[in-house]
Amino acid sequence: MEYDILIQGGTIVDGTGQAGFTGDVGILGEKIVRIGRLEPGEGTNVIQAQGMVVCPGFIDAHCHTDVYAADCPDAAGKIMQGVTTDVCGLCGDSPAPVGEGNLREYIRRREYKLPGSEPAEACTFGEYRDRMNRLGNTTNMALFTGNANLRVHGVGYENRAASDGRWNR
């Protein structure tokens, strides 16, 4: 069988719970098509992986990549650790939605900011998602809307009940 990429001689940890084993991984296009003892074909890009672990990407189930992804879309720190999927927006805050009426206070309270990063902008959740897709962030991002963002978007930073029907856009 022909492969575009052949990872040879690595310790394969496949996520099934079985012990790691030495083997090769054949990739065609964007899919793993075979695992075992494999031979490269003509034009196959061979990666020697002896002494290395070959495994599926890891999921960071609680992170803040969403806050700096626009400034660091290559997510080099995550990818070098094997993280391929980030689950974001779980601490109550997220980069969206942020309404114009609350933008200044949101920026003042913002915990996570990289030096030299772009200033926060008012945006809907859909606009933020579209921006991340345009930038081509290296990790897959599962985006949740922070509950604080929903409250602030609804009633601002006032200390009052959110159930009286008033909305602060």
| Domain co-membership, 142 together with 88 | yes
CATH of the domain at 49: 2.30.40.10
More confident residue, 10 or 41: 10
- Range 142-154 average pLDDT: 83
* pLDDT, position 167: 54
Angstrom CA distances, 106 to 12, 120, 140, 160, stand at 45, 8, 26, 18
Inside any domain, residue 160? no
Note whether 54 and 24 are within 8 A (CB): no
Residue 162 has pLDDT above 70, yes or no: yes
Q: Is the pLDDT of residue 164 over 80?
A: no
Same domain, 146 and 66: yes
| Residues 84, 133: Cα–Cα separation, whole Å | 15
Residues 86, 139 contacting (CB under 8 angstroms): yes
- Residue 70 and residue 150 share a domain: yes
Q: Considering only CA atoms, which of 112, 88, 113, 107 is closest in space to residue 152?
A: 107
**Total number of domains in the chain:** 2
pLDDT tens for each residue of 114-138: 777 777 778 888 998 898 888 888 8
Q: Supply the DSSP symbol for 49.
A: -
pTM of the entire predicted model = 0.70
Can you give the pLDDT at residue 59?
A: 94
Q: In which band, very low, low, confident or very high, does the pLDDT at 47 lie, cut at 50, 70 and 90? A: very high
Bond before 97 cis per omega within 30 degrees: yes
